[in-house]
Amino acid sequence: MKHQLLVASLGIVALMAANSASADVAKGEALFKKNCAVCHSVKPGEKKIGPNLSGLAGRAAGTQEGFKYSDGFTGVSWDVANMHKFIENPKGMFAKTKMTFPGMKDAAERTDLFEFLGVK
Ligand code: HEC
């Protein structure tokens, strides 16, 4: 049991190391300010015209309390794979979304951005 736990935690550490080697949180913050911050805040409780993005990792889509989402904005949770799919092309994932953002096409930039958002 102890051995299994140790192997599992080593695996996680290795994953984290691999991720932080390729992702740049400072670049991610700059990308957030440039592309997302007009509509989103990462400060808990701060309201803008898009849902608050603090504690985003693992959250189910469409569940920020008090925010009125577009129809059908549900059915996924915000892990890395779904964030790539959504931010690359928001309307490709949710045809009726009211997030009027054309998409971020550069996968490396998206990786930096998600590192800043804590979705890894
Ligand atoms: C023009 C305003 C605007 C911009 C720019 C914008 N968003 Fe959004 N975002 C929204 C709105 C509005 C929603 C709610 C979507 C809906 O209900 O269809 C949303 C939803 C989201 C969600 C889903 C959150 C949840 O609670 O399920 C995520 C994640 C997200 N945006 C991330 C981003 C990121 C990252 C960027 C920058 C690359 C960005 N958005 C740029 C307005 C915007």
Ligand 1 centre from 69 Cα, in Å? 10
Q: What is the pLDDT of residue 22?
A: 76
Give tens-digit pLDDT for 15-42: 554 555 579 999 999 999 999 999 999 9
Instruction: List pLDDT tens digits, range 66-112.
Output: 999 999 999 999 999 999 999 999 999 999 999 999 999 999 999 99
97-119 in b/e burial notation, b at 16+ Cβ within 10 A? bebebeebeeeebbbbbbbbbeb
Q: Which fold has domain 24-117?
A: Cytochrome Bc1 Complex; Chain D, domain 2 (1.10.760)
Cβ atoms 60, 74 nearer than 8 A:
yes
Nearest to 112 by CA among 36, 60, 55, 39: 36
Domain ranges (residues) in the chain: 24-117
pTM over the 0.85 mark: yes
- Yes or no: say if 115 and 23 are a contact pair by the CB < 8 Å rule: yes
Predicted confidence band of residue 11 (pLDDT cuts 50, 70, 90): low
Mutate to test the pocket of ligand 1, among 33, 36, 85, 113 (most ligand atoms within 8 A of CB): 36
Please tell me whether residue 77 adopts helix, strand or coil conformation.
Answer: strand
Q: What is the pLDDT of residues 53-72, one digit of tens each?
A: 999 999 999 999 999 999 99
State the DSSP code for 76: -
**CA 5 to ligand 1 center in whole angstroms:** 37
Q: Terminus-to-terminus CA distance in the chain, angstroms?
A: 27
HEC assignment per residue over 102-119: CCCCCHHHHHHHHHHHCC
Within 6 A (CB) of ligand 1 lie 35-36, 38-40, 49-51, 53, 56, 61-62, 64, 69-70, 73, 78, 87, 94, 97-101, 104, 113
Atom of ligand 1 nearest to the CA of 100: 1
